[in-house]
Homo-oligomer: A and B are copies of this chain.
Amino acid sequence: MTAAAGPSSLLLVDDDPTFCRVLGLALNRRGFAVVTAHGSAAALEHARIDPPEYAIVDLNLAGDFGLGLIPDLLALDPAIRIVVLTGYASIATAVEAIKLGAVNYLAKPADADQILAALAATAGDPAAPFNARPLSINRLEWEHIQRVLRDNDGNISATARQLGMHRRTLQRKLAKRPARL
């Protein structure tokens, strides 16, 4: 990675402007020329004009624009290395994404280093270098809770239901960690 000759171009597709901006900045700081798009149409438009080297596609709850976007992007340029990122990960969609041509598939939350490693991953190379230290179990749990909580507009009961955990337990977890990241 980290091209020695000029910055690599990267197309970031995600509905959420905040997430887009944060991740975009982090990638920028690591030497990528980042372009963001908030939908398939905009993403394809960008790619048509100037096909990027890499693409990060976020599958949010909104329809299936994410998976369908993969072959569309590859049709414009088969060399684009696409990584799928989603908070609603499932094995079924992971398999589908890879079959459609994505080079990797990550479940949120994923930090910039994990994403870079995913972009660099080569097919079936178990000896791939791993540099990023993984999130602790607790941290991972916290991130996930926050994300789902946000999706539910702060509704604790609904969040607990979706997470398969008791409402009381969720309350206690939230109370125990007022602020931290």
Contacts and interface: CB of A to CB of B under 8 A. Distances in A.
A89 interface: yes
| Oligomer: number of copies | 2
Given A134-B147, A134-B148, A140-B141, A96 B124 contact: yes
B124 A138 contact: no
A12 B64 CA distance: 31
Contacts of A147: 134
A67 B100 contact: no
Interface residues of A, number: 52
Interface stretch (A21-29, A37-45, A46-54, A157-165): A157-165
Interface string A41-79: 000000000000000000101001001001100000000
A105 B131 contact: no
A174 interface: no
Given A98-B98, A140-B144, A88 B124 contact: no
B91 A128 contact: no
A4 interface: no
Which 9 A/B pairs are nearest by Cβ-Cβ distance?
Answer: A136-B164, A98-B98, A90-B131, A100-B124, A99-B123, A96-B128, A134-B148, A67-B128, A130-B151
